[in-house]
Chains A and B, each alone.
Chain A
């Protein structure tokens, strides 16, 4: 491997992880606080800025309180890093890192933009590792973050964190099934596991949830695409909600449910170790948003066939179209983060049994049926099957669906009224 390639990869890692995504964490914290304040008719953090009065200025420069995350960070850094005597030290120290690291590792397969090219050099893809198993890699790594929370809960050697950890384990494992099943239709549609190629495809042939351009030319017809919109939307719903559960966000933040578990798995943590959990949660949210955007909303693509032109945009020999796409991608991600926040401040927390029921009884089955539905739609669009076969398939699907709903219904425990 030549030196330039390694250097490029290093630069990509450092830039994309530490310059692009990591700052998104405090920014999303800031957004969270401001947005929730506005929703609740408050102001939110608007003070922390540059304290000019300290240096003899007339007025502080508050800058909408944007420096607040920095202040929070400094505060967390300077707090006493207290390790209680009763914890299992090694695991206790490991747990925060185990939550943050997977979230950051998953970033390496997310395509942040199209290629950029410096004069006289090869084009550089704005993705750290352009591997052919993108979504699978993400699921594989992201599911590791459950270890962080579980270990935190267990090693704290204290009741509430332990319950939080157990809840988290159960919840994450349950929702991973729905998560995995829900994107099978998407992968069927693209016939591809490389996220860069998925995005490229969406740029050329329309986003999964906005399939309005680039018909034909070796792709599905508009009718098929619109027909596929139905399973795609179901996938999107299941996937998004499962991401909420995976990131332990409201309304699924049962592992750290304050009203029941004090602080949940991080009750015994303080200072930067606590901050790592905090960061892990928000990083997971950023990654989740990025994944949703990548799979369903065309990733970095602007859409409407404009991407090829933008990708080719260059100043001198420097093709900077990729940077424009990077901006578009970040805008989409932030929009999704705002959606995450809106959900958090709208939807009340689920009860734990409701959460498990939702995961196992509804999403699992819905995702399963959705796979067949998607397959049927794709089969019908491919023109390789006769309408008879498709019809039989449709009927079978309806029967299966009905059977599953019936089974779910009868298996539900009958609530007896108190005598």
Chain B
């Protein structure tokens, strides 16, 4: 390891006494305090400040329209134009999920179902939102374009059980997504 020689800065008497720096500090902090109170903090406008400092008052004020296109909120399952649940329970998302938030129990589609040729669909599909880290790996790995991260970020619940999104809830948040590749829908 290289040795770095540090020379201590030569302090003048005024600096050694320290009170000058103290006063400067008081002046700075007070300047900030006054600016906060007058809603003149730097960046207050851009950050949609509530009037004190630069902070936005969250539940009342929201920034949903500032959310970028690539925002990663709650993972959801989607259906397509034909109302088919796109997930075929290949369990790749379960495999890739870094915090192991996803649990799938696969099931067979009964032969009288119009989509019987797809053969497989999730019997149960749970995402534990306490575990989910919103990394979007599941969306990226999905070979069927069935799982998407939506912009919902307000995931809250009073119990742990409530924080586990089951299949019904996931489709409810996910809704219908159009314009996806429809490999199962070709004429047969």
Contacts and interface: CB of A to CB of B under 8 A. Distances in A.
A42 interface: yes
Contacts of B26: 342-343, 346
A38 B5 contact: no
Contact of A40 (B30, B53, B57): B53
Given A346-B25, A417-B5, A418-B5, A41 B53 contact: yes
A36 to B, nearest CB: 9
A20 interface: no
A239 B30 CA distance: 24
Interface string A38-59: 1111110010000000000000
A347 interface: yes
A347 B23 CA distance: 10
Contacts of B57: 43
Interface stretch (B34-42, B108-116, B132-140, B175-183): B34-42
B32 interface: yes
Given A342-B30, A415-B8, A43 B25 contact: no
Nearest to A341: B29
Nearest to B26: A346
Contacts of A417: 5, 7
Contacts, number: 53
A42 B57 CA distance: 11
Contact of A43 (B28, B33, B42, B50): B50
Given A38-B36, A41-B35, A418-B3, A342 B29 contact: yes
B33 A39 contact: yes
A38 B49 CA distance: 13
A41 B28 CA distance: 12
A345 B37 CA distance: 17
Interface string B1-44: 00101011000000000000010011011101101110001101
B160 to A, nearest CB: 20
B5 A43 contact: no
B141 interface: no
B32 A41 contact: yes
Contacts of B22: 346-347
Interface string A391-419: 00000000000000000000000010110
B185 interface: no
A42 B55 contact: yes
A35 interface: yes
A305 B34 CA distance: 34
Contacts of A346: 22, 25-26, 28-29
A153 B131 CA distance: 38
Contacts of B5: 417-418
A255 B44 CA distance: 37
B8 A43 contact: no
B8 A345 contact: no
Interface string A260-299: 0000000000000000000000000000000000000000
Contacts of A347: 22, 25
A35 B33 contact: yes
A5 interface: no
Nearest to B24: A346
B58 to A, nearest CB: 10
B36 A39 contact: yes
A37 B41 CA distance: 12
Contacts of A35: 33
B52 interface: yes
B25 A37 contact: no
A39 B26 CA distance: 10
A316 B166 CA distance: 75
The 7 closest A-B pairs by CB, nearest first: A41-B53, A346-B25, A41-B41, A38-B36, A43-B55, A42-B53, A38-B33
19 contacts: A38-B36, A39-B29, A39-B30, A39-B32, A40-B53, A41-B41, A41-B55, A42-B52, A42-B53, A43-B52, A43-B53, A342-B26, A342-B29, A342-B30, A347-B22, A347-B25, A415-B8, A417-B5, A417-B7
